[in-house]
Amino acid sequence: MRFFIAAFCLWPFVTAAQEAEPPITRADTAYQMAQTVQNSGAAQAVQQIALRLALKEDGLEELAIERRDLTEQVEAFRQSNDVPEQERRQRSEQLDTALLVNSRALAAAFPGYLDIVAPAPMSIAETQSLLAPDEALVQFHQGRNWLSIFFIGKQHVIWHRVPVTQIDAQELVQLYREGMGLDGTLRAAAALDDFDDEPDTPEGVFNMGLSAILYQWLFAPYAWEMQQYKHLMIVADKAWIGLPFATLLSDSNDGDRAPTAPVLRKASWMARDHAMTMLPSAVSLRTARAAQADRQNQTGPETTLLAIGDPIFSGAATTDAVVRAAQNGVVDASALLPLPGTRREVRAIAAQFGADRSEVLLGADASEAGLRATDFSTRDVIVFATHGLISGELQGLSEPALALTPPSDITPETRSSGNDGLLTAGEIAGLTLSADWVVLSACNTAAGNGEGAEGLSGLARAFFAAGAQALLVSHWPVRDDAAARLTSSAFANLETSPAMRRAEAMRLAMLELLSDPSDDTLAQPSAWAPFFVVGG
What count of other Cβ atoms lies within 10 Å of the Cβ of residue 327? Answer: 10
Nearest residue to 310 (alpha-carbon basis) of 289, 284, 336: 336
Residues of the chain with pLDDT under 70: 1-20, 39-50, 53-54, 56-57, 112-117, 183-204, 294-301, 327-329, 391-398, 410-418, 442, 444-457
What is the greatest pairwise CA distance in the chain?
71
Tell me what pLDDT residue 18 has.
55
Rounded CA separation 443/456 (Å): 13
Question: For residue 7, what is the DSSP state?
Answer: T
Rounded CA separation 292/295 (Å): 5
Nearest residue to 426 (alpha-carbon basis) of 45, 161, 104: 45
Digit-coded pLDDT (tens) for 439-473: 998 676 665 544 333 446 678 888 888 888 899 99
CA distances from 487 to 186, 288, 362, 441, 508 (A): 21, 22, 17, 8, 11
3-state per-residue secondary structure call for 302-313: CCCEEEEECCCC
Strand partners, 447: 456
The model's pTM is 0.83
Rounded CA separation 266/401 (Å): 38
| Distance, CA of 264 to chain centre | 26
DSSP state string for 308-350: EE-------B-HHHHHHT-BTTB--GGGBPP-THHHHHHHHHH
Report the percentage of the chain scoring pLDDT > 70. Answer: 79
Rounded CA separation 507/517 (Å): 18
Rounded CA separation 370/406 (Å): 11
Q: Which amino acid is at 463?
A: F
Rounded CA separation 434/58 (Å): 17
